[in-house]
């Protein structure tokens, strides 16, 4: 694809940029022959990143931990689910009007709906955790939140679903549990990422997410 003055730019803002979004979205843009590119950026200042998106007319962008709650201070509007969750991971830019959405809960809802019917323990209480909590409520799942104050309780959990919503790696749990990990280097994390990114693509472009690239 030839990049020119009319090429639409999409992005993600993270503490440490990754390549997954670049691969998914640029392949999807190529699938539809859209004049668009996707680029991930590392930033320590989400406010400055949002202002850059406004200035450069970036058409849409994702935000990752730890910016999912803070991003709401820097947008013009947000969707109904964001009101209920209190966090967002997706922003669209329509003629300079920035609107925040949450597609994390849609991915969490899919994963939890497919999981065995067991007690649910959610690790962490940040922006991503709030999306998982919302998804659990939508499908009628009761849950318990494990925070730093009771982190030691993880070792006592048996025959349950443990959903990691933190940046922690190498979490030790009983093998009797089903472990859902949000980290992108895990099997479940990759699936979660593809599901939520598919919903982002539809918000950005209005086109159905190509199923050979994204997941359901």
> Which member of 33, 39, 68, 172 is catalytic?
68
Nearest Cα neighbor of 157 from 118, 183, 112, 110 is: 118
Q: With 0-12 CB in 10 A as exposed, 13-18 as middle and 19+ as buried, what is 97? A: exposed
Nearest Cα neighbor of 207 from 74, 30, 7 is: 30
Whether 166 contacts 120, CB under 8 Å: no
Task: Determine whether 68 is an active site residue.
Answer: yes
CA-based max dimension of the chain: 58
Sequence-distant contacts of 142-146: CB under 8 A, at least 24 apart: 143/119, 144/119, 144/120, 145/121, 146/121, 146/122
Nearest Cα neighbor of 111 from 80, 139, 91, 90 is: 139
Classify residue 63 by its DSSP letter: E
Structure token digits, residue 111: 């994963």
What amino acid positions are annotated as catalytic residues? 68
């Amino acid at each position: 694809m030839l990049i020119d003055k009319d090429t639409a730019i999409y992005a993600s803002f993270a503490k440490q940029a990754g390549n997954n979004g670049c691969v998914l979205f640029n392949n999807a843009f190529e699938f539809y022959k859209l004049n668009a590119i996707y680029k991930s950026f590392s930033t320590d200042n989400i406010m400055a990143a949002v202002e850059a998106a406004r200035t450069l007319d970036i058409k849409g962008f994702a935000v990752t931990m730890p910016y999912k709650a803070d991003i709401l201070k820097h947008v013009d509007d947000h969707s109904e689910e964001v009101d209920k969750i209190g966090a967002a991971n997706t922003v669209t830019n329509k003629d300079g009007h920035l609107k925040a959405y949450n597609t994390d809960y849609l991915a969490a809802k899919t994963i939890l709906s497919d999981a065995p019917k067991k007690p649910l323990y959610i690790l962490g209480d940040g922006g991503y955790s709030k999306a998982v909590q919302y998804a659990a409520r939508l499908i009628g799942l009761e849950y318990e939140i494990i925070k730093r104050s009771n982190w030691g309780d993880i070792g006592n959990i048996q025959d349950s679903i443990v959903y990691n919503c933190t940046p922690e790696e190498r979490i030790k749990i009983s093998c009797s549990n089903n472990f859902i990990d949000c980290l992108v280097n895990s099997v479940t994390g990759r699936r979660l990422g593809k599901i939520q990114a598919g919903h982002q693509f539809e918000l950005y472009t209005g086109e159905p997410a190509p199923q050979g690239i994204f997941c359901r």
